[in-house]
Amino acid sequence: MEWQSAADTVPSNFITEAQARSLLGKPPATGAWRPGDPEGDRRFVDVGALRFEAGGALGNVRIAYETWGALSAASDNAILVLHALTGDSHATGPAGKGHVTEGWWRHIIGPGLALDTNRWFVVAPNMLGGCQGSSGPSSLAPDGSEWGTRFPYLTIRDQVAAQAAFTDRLGISRWAAVIGGSMGGMHALEWAVELPHRVERLAILAAPPVTTADQVALNSVQIEAIRTDPLYRHGDYYDATDGDGPTRGLALARRMALLNYRSPAELNTRFERSWQSPISPLGAGGRFAVESYLDFHGNKFTRRFDANSYITLVEAMNSHDVGRGRGGVAAALSRVHARTLVLGIDSDRLFPVEGQQEIARHVPGNIDGADPVVLESKFGHDGFLIESDAVGAQLRRLLG
């Protein structure tokens, strides 16, 4: 679910000295984008007031987004790309002011690529509850302080309702395609079930029809890692000085998650039992290379994410059940009208292929009949982000 940097995809077994030095100094209390920070390529739309499934509400919701390509005169070439848990609207483009990292799907979106921006108008919003410009726990409440833990509990359906309101503001009545991976795949699936008349094509990448008890359990320990950090302060840490936020708890949650995003075979082959040099972003001595890898990416993550947002979004993932209140999964999926691609990764231990098989069996417009496309990848769940050629080929097939 999982945003990747270039450093995640290189075959090196070790964290370099340059990488380690890039993380010297205390991280901020929150890595959220805040008003007054460089906007980069972000745009913003206010979508008005929204009420949520669990009873909460927001008086005004802001969605941050980015676009590539041009909308046709008939408004019939728009593609909605929905990011994973730790992603954001910067799906393609370089790092720079306003964007700590380069785009997470830069080999998929662009001129001549699978989502060819000479043909398609590609839109990527930051999801509601996120921390890179859209309304979330790090946003200011009406009293002038950050929402923090006062931010409403969200479900996947709430987030899709916000995306639908955002779509209305853009003046797009029907998406030529809705594409999402991991958590974004949950959103895409919900779009096609709840708003089938607004989705012409659908791509579900490495996402399940239901968040299982096993997945909720994995999520629960990540949430607890954040909440037990003494500097979490019950979610009220935004005014803390640099380094006084719950960065250790957030980094630990990220390290736990990474173990689910990659496969055992990849970690064993890539790192074996190799020993890392004493250089470490946390200042510790020598250690196994795989430990240093996890430390590096945990520390890096704290510089671009917010602890309260992480909890909000993980809890939304826990709510995911496409069959809830709809007569079960099969009945819900029968409502999908879109031409559909369902794709899984053979080594995915977070959202195993069984979930994609269930989706494929019940979606009437699946382009592969009753079966999903199953990619062979050593990268586990993150294969949908890393295997650009294979994923791109399948998206081209869907788009025709």
| Residues 358/326, Cβ–Cβ less than 8 Å | no
Is residue 381 flagged as an active site residue?
yes
Q: What does the alpha-carbon distance between residue 209 and residue 232 come to, in Å, rounded to a whole number?
A: 33
**CB neighbours of residue 185 within 10 Å:** 31
Phi, psi of 279, deg, nearest 5: -70, 125
Catalytic residue among 295, 306, 321, 348: 348
Q: What does the alpha-carbon distance between residue 81 and residue 109 come to, in Å, rounded to a whole number?
A: 10
Would you state the structure tokens that stand for residue 328, as one six-digit string? 């079960």
Q: What does the alpha-carbon distance between residue 128 and residue 138 come to, in Å, rounded to a whole number?
A: 12
Residue corresponding to tokens 């890392």: 276
Residue corresponding to tokens 């306003």: 98
CA 278 remoteness from chain centre = 33
**CB neighbours of residue 388 within 10 Å:** 16
CA 117 remoteness from chain centre = 22
Is residue 320 flagged as an active site residue?
no
Q: How deeply is 73 buried, as exposed, middle or buried, from its count of CB atoms within 10 A (0-12, 13-18, 19+)? A: exposed
| Residues 297/254, Cβ–Cβ less than 8 Å | yes
Q: Where are the beta strands (DSSP E) in the chain?
A: 43-51, 57-68, 78-82, 109-110, 115-116, 121-125, 177-181, 201-205, 275-276, 287-288, 339-345, 373-375
Q: What does the alpha-carbon distance between residue 309 and residue 329 come to, in Å, rounded to a whole number?
A: 28
Q: At what angle do helices 247-261 and 307-318 cross, to 10 degrees?
A: 40
| Residues 106/203, Cβ–Cβ less than 8 Å | no
Catalytic residue among 139, 182, 319, 347: 182
**CB neighbours of residue 346 within 10 Å:** 14
- Name the β-bridge partners of 84: none
Q: What does the alpha-carbon distance between residue 277 and residue 258 come to, in Å, rounded to a whole number?
A: 22
Catalytic residue among 90, 297, 320, 381: 381
Is residue 348 flagged as an active site residue?
yes
Annotated catalytic residues are 182, 348, 381
